[in-house]
């Protein structure tokens, strides 16, 4: 997907990009490729693939919630090279974005990226999601929490739901639909104070690829014991 086609396809779903925003995405791509030679940020580096599978894919989250309506606080857990939060921030400058990642090299890249793109209200934290979720300054603080990760939903829920304020949402971006994964996560979600909401299927343009956005509503406070100590959610997922 060439940049101009990217712009046209977003317009089809009601998202109009300015020249400044197009320039920001161009700079984003250039920095991503440059830094990817130093640290492993992504296996996808070809321009048309990045615009489709990283930029457009990240922005599809906006099809499930009107991000322009409120100045939402959004926390992106394990954002890596900044997906989905930085593309969303470019499109919706009103968002207040916090990113937590366990690798300091990625945080350094994201710090430079935010500066080069002129993004305000982007907060970066070098931490494990398990310890971040026990930090009183961040626990149950965010309107929206996102994760675009390969971990199973019951694991992601333990890492992300403690950060969501009551009445907020955890939005998990998944590359594959798995009824089994959703079913096995229901008990964990309930324990953590959540309730399974809508699952939205999104088709990426010009490909057979589909994405799935699973919304989990935060109904009550997460018990203090969660998230458990680093490594435990992966080793012993809540079932």
Q: Residues within the annotated binding site for S-adenosyl-L-methionine? A: 78, 83, 129-130, 148
Q: How many residues does the chain have?
A: 239
Strands (E), 81-140: 96-101, 122-126
Give CA–CA dist 156/140, Å, rounded: 15
Report angle CA 15, 142, 190 to the nearest 5 degrees: 105
Give CA–CA dist 230/139, Å, rounded: 16
- What secondary structure letter does DSSP report for 65? S
Q: Across the chain, how many H-helices and E-strands are there?
A: 10, 7
Secondary structure percentages of the chain, helix, strand, coil, to 5 = 40, 20, 35
Specify which residues 74 forms β-bridges with. Answer: 97, 144
Strands (E), the chain: 73-77, 96-101, 122-126, 142-147, 164-174, 194-203, 210-218
């Amino acid at each position: 997907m060439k940049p101009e086609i990217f712009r046209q396809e977003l317009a089809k779903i009601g998202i109009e990009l300015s020249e400044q925003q197009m320039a920001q995405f161009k700079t984003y791509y250039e920095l991503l490729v440059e830094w990817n030679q130093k640290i492993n940020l992504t296996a996808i580096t070809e321009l048309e693939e990045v615009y489709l599978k990283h930029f457009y894919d990240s922005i599809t989250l906006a099809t499930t919630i009107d991000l322009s309506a409120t100045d939402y606080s959004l926390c992106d857990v394990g954002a890596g090279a900044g997906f989905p939060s930085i593309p969303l921030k470019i499109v919706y400058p009103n968002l207040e974005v916090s990113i937590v990642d366990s690798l300091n090299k990625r945080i350094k890249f994201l710090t430079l990226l935010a500066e080069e793109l002129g993004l305000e209200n982007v907060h970066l934290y070098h931490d494990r999601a398990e310890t971040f979720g026990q930090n009183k300054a961040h626990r149950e603080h965010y309107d929206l929490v996102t994760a675009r990760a390969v971990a199973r939903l019951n694991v992601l829920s333990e890492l992300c739901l403690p950060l969501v304020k009551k009445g907020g949402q955890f939005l998990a971006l998944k590359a594959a639909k798995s009824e089994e994964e959703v079913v096995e996560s229901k008990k964990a979600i309930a324990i953590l104070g959540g309730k399974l909401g809508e699952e939205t299927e999104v088709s990426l343009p010009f490909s057979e690829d589909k994405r799935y956005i699973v919304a989990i509503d935060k109904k009550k406070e997460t018990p203090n014991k969660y998230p458990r100590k680093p490594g435990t959610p992966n080793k012993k997922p809540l079932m």
